[in-house]
Each structure stands twice: as structure tokens, then as C-alpha cells.
A and B are shown apart, each in its own frame.
Chain A
């Protein structure tokens, strides 16, 4: 009974189709922009973005090395998206993920560079910092009914300036180059343990961040779908009043959700900065990771595993921008095209409705009458 839903009618398939449509449309519009800028080289430019580092496919060692770096950069993005997704399932829009990521940077870099802690303690500190930031937003939401979006945005800026002050100090930052010291040279014990680096052509940045991210995605999947905790969170997300009626502790759940979401965001920062791949430089804007994470979460159909693929796609396109020939295009054009593609990724829900249209499943389908006879038939069989 009810099993006859065709392949294309399955919600999961529809989400995947919608996500792919989004990505394709984004690329198409990006292409149109390249056309308007410089029609002659547009096709070539788009090809460069899409071919990306695969242009090194002649040399497998180099290719794998690039592949490794690509994965390293994707992981924090995926983690941020997972953090946002997790909160979203509980009915909370954690735009504060960006700030939680930022305080994660503070903790990772300060603990590794200024305090000389080892990688494990640094990761724990980053998690704690992100969790604290999430806790503050949660506290404000649960007890003072401050919208978590407002609280999140404010905390983003507080986090950013704290980061500039703390990490910008002499202990962490080379004042002449105004970028943070190399963790490898100052405190090699803070670098995350490597992960099959030989496989990635000796890439020294591929670390346990890669398996850790996948484990977290799976953990979120399990928590949301199999546990009583996930059951409570989703119930609260769908209908706060019904959750209250069922005796669930809404305040505790709001805080806990944002704490966990924040912890994942903070963890994301540690999984990038403790690879030693990049330095932190004083910035006037909140790191975009937490914001791109929103697009990734939606592109991934708000599914923890889908989010992994969405994150890989977005990061891949972002990297592709570097391969756009700057002789023909202003360097900002690459960013623009990428931004448009990512922007369109947020339209998954819209596309999903579009894909779903012919079925028109509306509220209150009074659709039971035949059920009984169907049951009876089943019994007879």
C-alpha cells in the first residue's frame, strides 16, 4: 500500500533533481555574465572554472595534491553547513554560525600559537568557544525571546572584533607581515594528525579533518532520525506548541541546539586553521564560511549527507574562479560568478516546488476512503 510512488515522485529524488537544477542554472547564469563581460572568451572561461584543477590530470601526483587541498578547504564549509542544518531542523536559523566559526578561529590560533597547546586541546578549545557563542544566542532566545538571527548577527561582529584584537596581538601575529605565525614552525604539536597524505601526492595539509567531517555528518543524520533527542528537536522545530504540550522542555532544547550548532561551527574553524594551510589576517568582515554554509545546507536539501556533496560542489566552483584568465576578466568577475552560483543554490526549495508541481499535494487531502477496502484486500491476499 502506498509503495507505488514512482521514482520521480520520491521526495529524496526530487530534492536531488532540484539541487542539480539549481547548480546548472547557476552555472548558466554565470556563463551569461561572462558573455556580457567578454563574449569572445566566455566559453573558455567557464570551461576553466569547471575543469578547475583537473587540468592537471596529466600528472596524477599533482592532481591528487590539488584534490587534497580542495578537500581540506571543503571540510570547514561542510561542517558549517551541518551546523546550520542541525539548528534549522529544530526550527532555529543559526546565522550566528559565522561568528561561532570566528571564535573557533580565536581559540584554535591562540591556543596553538600563544599557549603552545597540542592539537587535541586546541580542537577542544575551539569547540568550547563555538559552543559558548551558540549558548549566548540560545540563552537570549530561550529566556528573553530575542530572535536568534538578530542575536547571531550581533555576536558575529563581536566575535570578529575579538578575533582581530586577540589574534592581531604580538603573540599570534607577525606584526610586519600582519598575518599569523606559521603553526608548523612555532608549535608543530598543534597541527592536526595527517590523513593518507601519501595518497594525496604528499599533500601535507590533508588531515583527520576529512574523516572527522564525514563522521559528524553521519552522526547528525543518526541523531536527527534515530534518537529521542532528534525527535524532540524536530518536533520543537515543526510545532513549538505541540512540543510544549508533549512536555518537552523547549527552553533547554533551544539552548542545547544552538550550543551543538555552535560547537560544530567552532570545530569547523579548528579543522581548517590547525592544518596550517592558511594564515589569519586582520579582516573587516566576518569570515564568509558561515554564510556560504547556509547556501550549502539548502543546496544539500537539508540532508546531512547531501550537504557533503553540496559543500564539495560549492568549494569546487569557488576554487574554479582562480582559473579564470585574468587577462580577459577582472579578478572580481570570478567572485561575482561564483557568488551568483552559490546564491542560486539557496533556491533549492523553490525548484523543489517546481519539480513537484504536477502532483500538487495540498493540505488536507481527504484521501482515506479506499484505504479500508485496500486493507481488506490485503488481508484476503
Chain B
């Protein structure tokens, strides 16, 4: 008999109008890394929520160490030693790292916190697993990568033996991903069992022992990763063969659409500029990509470009017009579309319906309002059209509250909205973050189509594959400056990596 830590047998979970999990069986062996693969909305997160006690399934049983258990809330899951790193971290921003780790199982004596013991344990764990964190830093001040390490430490601190990672690499830089993979392998070697939810095939091939595939709520199969290929996995996941490379003709750049001159942005944290003297241009019909490791000023630059943040000096010209000091509304209506980096913070009003979100920047235009009254019918039609054109899936169509949609479909909704708006320039920041290969393929094709229609595209991405595949020119940003411009056809990942880490700069000089 196999030694299974967790068995989920014949799980069925329904939502109004939808079967999110249809008779799914998942068996996790002790000490293995088991990948759970599926498209956006295939039912992965629902299944994990069932395991974590957030949902109660209609049918099916869960077994722990061969014994049937009932998990009706997250506390039950924690008691059984199941821990989860959520896709969107569950951390208290204004607490320190240590406070976040002990939150929920605070050590105390006579009602007073005794943090010293906890601190020692956290430091011990972080050294043992090479999870570098500063226990006293505020969570709001640390990088996304470090926040994730905090989440992992949280599970280790509770001595969890089953660790669930819900799309852990979606927000990480390539280096951080490598590090995470190493950590996961170490954890598995220590006897922890890991469930790894993802739709990135490279990662599965690299770390997972076995992989279970879901498609549209149904269980497709479980394979040994050693005996499979990326192509096989992807066709099992999507139900068809997927192209990994983007087909595109050479760019045919036209007039200059965006011109950025000596833009500086003051940092909110330190006294230096977070963006320093950035100058470049984007022409119609080309895709220019800003590559770089997260936290090198890309966010701040896009903030200044789109108007979300203040610009301290420099000039931005859009379609020949100086828009440096113009409002967001003005830029929105004069040729700029923006797929924001953080879809929950900026891109969507989560408690609005899909249709209301679809007209977020257009509700005041004559197409959608008359005399101050919103034209509900037009809004509905518009939303339905975009949803079907961009394959945005939702439980109740246009009336679905966006909060209840999966991350991938939320992202597709934003991309659909931004691409459909009148624009000359599309600023897309991490447009495929958290999407599955099918959706990525689709969005990449759309971006190339946009380019071929003569739009200018500024892509900001942390995914090197995306950068190399999609762009016509690559600008590398390091510590707030553009340190180099390369042609994707003539460069290598290694060269890009050197630029990104600050080891190389244009004008030939080697730094340091």
C-alpha cells in the first residue's frame, strides 16, 4: 500500500449554476512534491479551499494518514498540520514579520506575549531552510519575495507537514523562483509533503515528483513527471496543443507615439530618486519592453507615466502632446491604455459587477450615459461582447461580482477592457501575471495583433520568457535607471541577466 498523507476522494463542489469540482480524486504521498495543474478556473483553488476548510464539498471524503477526517474550517486544517501559502498573501501589512508569523498561535504567559522564544524559533527555521527574513521589518516595507518567505515560515513555525503553495511563483522574479524551487526541494527532503498549484510547466518539470491535472472542474489524470514532457502536460491541461513561442513578423515601426525625457521620480522610502533620468521612446507598431528585477523602479516609473504617482521632473509626450502634467482622465481619453501591475489595487473595483468594471474609465462617455444616467443596456451589451471576445468566464455573466471570479479571468477582463478602449499606446505591466499557458498564448497573440494594427506597446515584465518572446526592443532597468537597450534577437538570457543585476551597463563599461 502506498503511504498517502492526504487523500481527497471523489470531491464534488458546486456553486450556483456551476460545478467547480466534479468527482475529483487527489492523493498526496508523504515527502513528495505534487503539482496540481490546470487552467484558470479549472477548479484548483476550489479544491484547495475544500482541503483547507474554506468550502464544504457536497460529496467526497478527505483522509489524513488513511483515516477519514472532517475539515470544516481553516482551524481544523491547521490542527491536522495542513498549511497554505495563498496566491494573495494573507499578511497584516502594519505588523512586523515576527508578529505575522506568530499570529494565530501567539506564545503567551499569563496573557502576555512571550516573543523571545518565538523569535529564536523563527530565526532557527529561517537559517535551517535558508529563508532570509528580517523578523523586525514591517511587512508593508518588504519585497513580495520576502513576504512569501514569511508565509512559508508561518507554516514551518506551526510544524505543518502538508504544505500547499497556491501559485507561489506568480509574483516572483526569476532569481526568487530559483530560490523557492530549492527551498521546496529541501522541504520535501525533510519529509514535508507539498502540494504545488501552478500553471507553469517549467516549474513542474523542475521540482515536482508527480502531477495531477484538472480541466474545467474535472479530473484528467495523474502522471509521473519523470515520464512526461511539457507538451504532454500542456495538452492534458488545455485539451489541445499549445504553441510556446509567439509567432510574429518583424516590427514595422511608424511615428513616435510616446516620448519620455529625463523622467525622475522621488522615492517614498529613501532620499534618492527611485526613477532617475529615464529617457526613451515607443513608436507605433512596436513592442518595447522594460525588463528588470522587481523593485528597480519599474512600478514607480509606470506610476509617473500614467499619473498614479507624482513625477518630480522630466517630460512625457504622448502623440506629440506634452502630457506631463495632465490628469489620469486626460491621459485615459487621449490615447493611453493601462493594464496595471496590481489588478486588485488598481485594475478592478472588486465589489462591482463585471459589467460595471468593464466601463470603469468610460462610464461618462456618451456611449454609456445620457444626462448623467448610466445606460444599463449598453453597459450589459458591451460587457457581454468583451467577455465573449476575450473569453472572460464568470459564474453569472455580466452581473458576476468580480471578487468571485478567478484571478486569471479578472486579468482577462482588464486586458479586454484596456485593449478595447480607444488608444494609441498600451502600457501593459505584467499582463500575463498569474495566467495559464492557454491564456498567456492568447494575450500574447492579442498584443502582437495590437502592434500589427499600428499601436505602440510598452510592456513591463518580470518574466524573461515573455520579454524575449514578445518584445521588439528591450530596455533594462536597474536601480531606477535604464542601463541598457538590447535587441531580443541578438541577445541571450545571460546577457539580460547581467544587465538586470547591474553587472553590465551600456557604453561598454563593466560596473565595479
Contacts and interface: CB of A to CB of B under 8 A. Distances in A.
B317 interface: no
29 contacts: A2-B397, A227-B369, A227-B374, A228-B364, A228-B369, A231-B363, A231-B374, A234-B349, A238-B350, A239-B348, A239-B351, A241-B346, A242-B345, A242-B346, A242-B348, A242-B349, A242-B360, A245-B308, A246-B328, A246-B361, A247-B329, A247-B330, A247-B332, A247-B333, A369-B18, A369-B218, A369-B393, A370-B17, A370-B19
Interface of B: 15-20, 40-46, 49, 54-56, 216-218, 306, 308, 327-333, 338, 340, 345-352, 356, 360-361, 363-364, 369, 372-374, 376, 393-397, 399, 403-407, 409
Contact of A368 (B56, B356, B395): B395
A4 B18 CA distance: 11
B372 A365 contact: no
**Residue of B45, B56, B364, B409 ringed by the most chain A CB atoms within 10 A:** B364
Interface stretch (A179-187, A300-308, A356-364): A356-364
B15 A371 contact: no
A239 B16 contact: no
A361 B55 CA distance: 8
A368 B374 contact: no
Contacts of B306: 245
B102 to A, nearest CB: 24
A229 to B, nearest CB: 6
Interface in A200-253: 226-229, 231-232, 234-235, 238-239, 241-249
Nearest to B348: A242
B16 A5 contact: yes
B300 to A, nearest CB: 15
Interface in A242-301: 242-249
Contacts of A362: 49, 54-55
B216 A370 contact: yes
Contact of A228 (B44, B45, B363, B404): B363
B232 to A, nearest CB: 22
Given A228-B369, A368-B394, 4 more contacts: A228-B363, A244-B346, A249-B327, A368-B41
A327 interface: no
Contacts of B330: 247
Interface of A: 1-2, 4-5, 226-229, 231-232, 234-235, 238-239, 241-249, 360-374
A369 B352 contact: no
Contacts of B372: 227-229
Given A241-B345, A245-B328, A245-B347, A368 B407 contact: no
A367 B396 CA distance: 10
Nearest to A235: B349
A227 to B, nearest CB: 5
Contacts of B350: 238-239
Contact of A367 (B327, B328, B404): B404
Given A5-B16, A360-B56, A370-B216, A365 B404 contact: yes
B374 A238 contact: no
Nearest to A226: B373
A247 B340 CA distance: 13
B406 A4 contact: no
Rank and list the top 6 A-B pairs by shortest CB-CB distance, nearest first: A247-B329, A2-B396, A369-B217, A367-B15, A368-B393, A369-B216
A233 B332 CA distance: 19
A228 B374 contact: yes
Given A366-B41, A367-B15, A244 B328 contact: yes
Contacts of A247: 327-333, 361
A14 B217 CA distance: 30
Contact of A246 (B360, B373, B399, B404): B360
A24 B14 CA distance: 34
Contacts, number: 152
A367 B20 contact: yes
A43 B349 CA distance: 50
A366 B349 contact: no
A275 B55 CA distance: 56
Nearest to B360: A246
A371 B369 contact: no
Contacts of A238: 349-352
A372 B347 contact: no
Contacts of A367: 15, 18, 20, 41, 46, 395, 404, 406
Contacts of B364: 228
B406 A366 contact: yes
Contacts of B20: 365-370
Nearest to B345: A241
Nearest to B400: A2
A143 to B, nearest CB: 15
Nearest to B329: A247
A366 B21 CA distance: 9
A369 B19 contact: yes
A368 B409 contact: yes
Nearest to B328: A247
Contacts of A372: 216, 393
Nearest to B88: A364
A2 B403 CA distance: 16
Contact of A360 (B55, B347, B407): B55
Given A239-B349, A245-B347, A372-B393, A364 B308 contact: no
A247 B55 CA distance: 37
Contact of A365 (B42, B329, B369, B395): B395
Nearest to B17: A2
Contacts of A364: 45, 49, 403-404, 406-407
Contact of B16 (A4, A363, A373): A4
A4 B20 CA distance: 17
Contacts of B338: 245
A335 B372 CA distance: 45
B18 A370 contact: yes
B18 A374 contact: yes
Contacts of B15: 365, 367
Contacts of A361: 404
A222 B334 CA distance: 31
A366 B43 contact: yes
Contacts of A365: 15, 20, 46, 395, 404
A235 B218 CA distance: 36
Contacts of B346: 241-242, 244-245
A376 to B, nearest CB: 12
